[in-house]
């Protein structure tokens, strides 16, 4: 994937799941065959949650150093981590 590519790796992190995919920004569409959705235990410790997010993100064939689109809807208990 070149820096001029319109394909962008993305993450959507919810309270019960994390989804990773490649999106063709020019076409406004998910690249077929690139979606991975995993469960996420909101009651788990931070290390487990981050591990699940990294595992899901690692399944996407993104170039090293590529910028990612990330959606993290609220509300979250930021004080508790």
- The string of pLDDT tens digits covering residues 1-55 is 444 568 999 999 988 999 999 999 999 999 999 999 999 998 899 999 999 999 9
Cα–Cα distance measured from residue 81 to residue 79, given in angstroms and rounded to the nearest whole number: 6
Phi, psi of 49 (to 5 degrees): -65, -45
pLDDT at 30: 96
Inform me whether the pLDDT recorded for 72 exceeds 70. yes
Segment holding 14, helix H or strand E? none
Inform me whether the pLDDT recorded for 76 exceeds 60. yes
pLDDT at 64: 87
Cα–Cα distance measured from residue 59 to residue 52, given in angstroms and rounded to the nearest whole number: 11
Segment holding 17, helix H or strand E? strand 17-24
pLDDT at 9: 97
Region 55-70: what's the mean pLDDT? 93
On whether the CB atoms of residues 20 and 77 are closer than 8 A, the answer is: no
Inform me whether the pLDDT recorded for 74 exceeds 70. yes
């Amino acid at each position: 994937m070149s820096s001029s590519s319109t394909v962008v790796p993305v993450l959507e992190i919810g309270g019960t799941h994390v989804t990773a995919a490649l999106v063709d920004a020019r076409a406004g569409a998910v690249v077929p065959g690139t979606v991975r959705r995993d469960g996420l235990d909101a009651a788990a410790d931070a290390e487990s949650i981050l591990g699940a997010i990294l595992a899901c993100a690692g399944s996407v064939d993104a170039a090293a150093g590529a910028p990612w689109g990330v959606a993290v809807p609220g509300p979250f208990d930021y004080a508790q981590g």
